[in-house]
Structure 1
């Protein structure tokens, strides 16, 4: 690693072209300028030719000046990243379950459209991956359906999300036999969600696993497509249902006793969020509150 003071001296010498003026500008002696140059040349080879009217930079010296410029750019980027002075610029990294992600991603794009200096990086993932990614500092912000028990994380209530039974438009569900007739459209969390909701709606039922399975999709945005085409019913979080484009093709069966998940916003507790991340959190909370989330 080259001494930063030697590099500053060399840059000044190359800029003014004279040992005496370089020493004056730097506030050091001419002997110190010569010493710094000698240390660099001991490591890198000849950097300047001394001429009667000044100096001439060698190819090795030009390469060293390019290196100094790259260091300056890197240093500036580091200081900008650490200072994070602008709430309207920089990357926002959020990882969330798919359902709430369907609701949040368009809002994040609206924010980016209003503040083009922001860059949005969003990933859909299950709770376990969300937790691991935030703990590994791969994402600044995460959303979980279960409050984490880890002192390294700060968890704040973000929103509530009921589970909903969604059926094809025009269908009627009054009894368990109706569900057996319609059949179940499954997804990665389908059976667990269905059992939680159906145990409230139909106490004593045999469980969703006993229902005829009419289809399966692991794409959160496509789970309701077979429902809309009349192939079966499913159970999903509300934000996934709201994001579906063809609302006229589906219906929600109301349940007397709601099953509601609390969504938790998490980030590392040991250091403060950058201003841009704080702004995003405030924006999303306000948007969710306005939407009744």
Structure 2
């Protein structure tokens, strides 16, 4: 690596053309500037043609000056990145649970269209993988369904997802008996979500485990396919239902006071969130607020 002080002396000398003025500008002695140039010439060969009142660059000197300018530009780019000035360029990395991800991913693409120098990288993952990905610095942002107790993470409330009881559109809903006739379309979080919702809607019932199971899918984007075909009912967050492509094929049964799952935004606590990530979070929260009201 080339000594940066030597490069500063050479760059200033090339610009000013005079050892005395260069020394004055840098706050050095003329002898110190001369010594810096000698060090560089030992490494790269003759850099200057010395004339009585000026200097002229050799081809090697011109190449080294180009290098000095590249180093200066890289330094400015690094400073801008560390200061968060590149809010509209670079990678946007988010890892999230499936239901919220169905809504967030298209919005992230909208954001990328508005900021073409940004690159979206999104992953659907369960809570454990979200934690691992953020702690391992593979993603800057993550969403969890619980508030983590880890000093390495900063967590804040992102939004709340109301749970919905979702039936085929053509079914006449007549209470618990209708659910028994349809059967439950299960998914990885299905039992927990259905238990929380149905225990409030039917406080005297024996719970979702006593209902027949009519199907299962671990792909959040496909869970509503069998419901739309009349093969059963399910319980999902509202955002997952709203992202489904066949809304007329579904009906949502009102269950009184809504049951809500809280989502927490996490990132590493040891360093500040990048300006780019902060801008994306604000954008996504505004979109979520508009959709959930």
Contact 1:183 1:211 in 2 (8 A): yes
The aligned residue for residue 228 of structure 1 is 228
Contact 1:89 1:118 in 2 (8 A): yes
Contact 1:95 1:143 in 2 (8 A): yes
Number of aligned positions between the proteins: 289
| 2:100 matches 1:100 | yes
Moved more, 24-33 or 95-104: 24-33
Distance 1:174 1:47, change over 3 A: farther
For 2:48 and 2:151, the matched residues in 1 are separated by 61
SS of residue matched to 2:148 = coil
The aligned residue for residue 238 of structure 1 is 238
The aligned residue for residue 211 of structure 1 is 212
For 1:49 and 1:267, the matched residues in 2 are separated by 51
For 1:262 and 1:5, the matched residues in 2 are separated by 54
Show CA shifts across 1:114-136 (max 9, x none).
55565544332221222223333
Displacement, 1:170?
0.8
The aligned residue for residue 78 of structure 2 is 78
Displacement, 1:144?
1.3
Contact 1:180 1:212 in 2 (8 A): no
Distance 1:49 1:104, change over 3 A: closer
CA RMSD, aligned part only? 3.3
The aligned residue for residue 149 of structure 2 is 149
Q: Which consecutive segments of 4 or more residues in structure 1 shift more than 6 A?
A: none
Distance 1:45 1:265, change over 3 A: closer
Distance 1:96 1:39, change over 3 A: same
Contact 2:97 2:144 in 1 (8 A): yes
Displacement, 1:213?
3.8
Contact 1:96 1:123 in 2 (8 A): yes
Distance 1:206 1:238, change over 3 A: closer
Q: Which blocks of at least 5 consecutive residues in structure 2 are unaligned?
A: none
Moved more, 98-107 or 275-284: 275-284
The aligned residue for residue 194 of structure 2 is 194
For 2:90 and 2:208, the matched residues in 1 are separated by 52
The aligned residue for residue 132 of structure 2 is 132
Displacement, 1:113?
4.7
For 1:156 and 1:137, the matched residues in 2 are separated by 18
Displacement, 1:14?
3.7
Contact 1:153 1:267 in 2 (8 A): yes
For 1:179 and 1:34, the matched residues in 2 are separated by 89
Show CA shifts across 1:41-87 (max 9, x none).
34x2414254657444254x455334323322221111001111465
Q: Which blocks of at least 5 consecutive residues in structure 1 are unaligned?
A: none
For 2:206 and 2:123, the matched residues in 1 are separated by 38
Contact 2:102 2:240 in 1 (8 A): yes
Contact 1:168 1:249 in 2 (8 A): yes
After TM superposition, the score normalised by the length of structure 2 is 0.80
Contact 1:167 1:250 in 2 (8 A): yes
SS of residue matched to 1:207 = helix
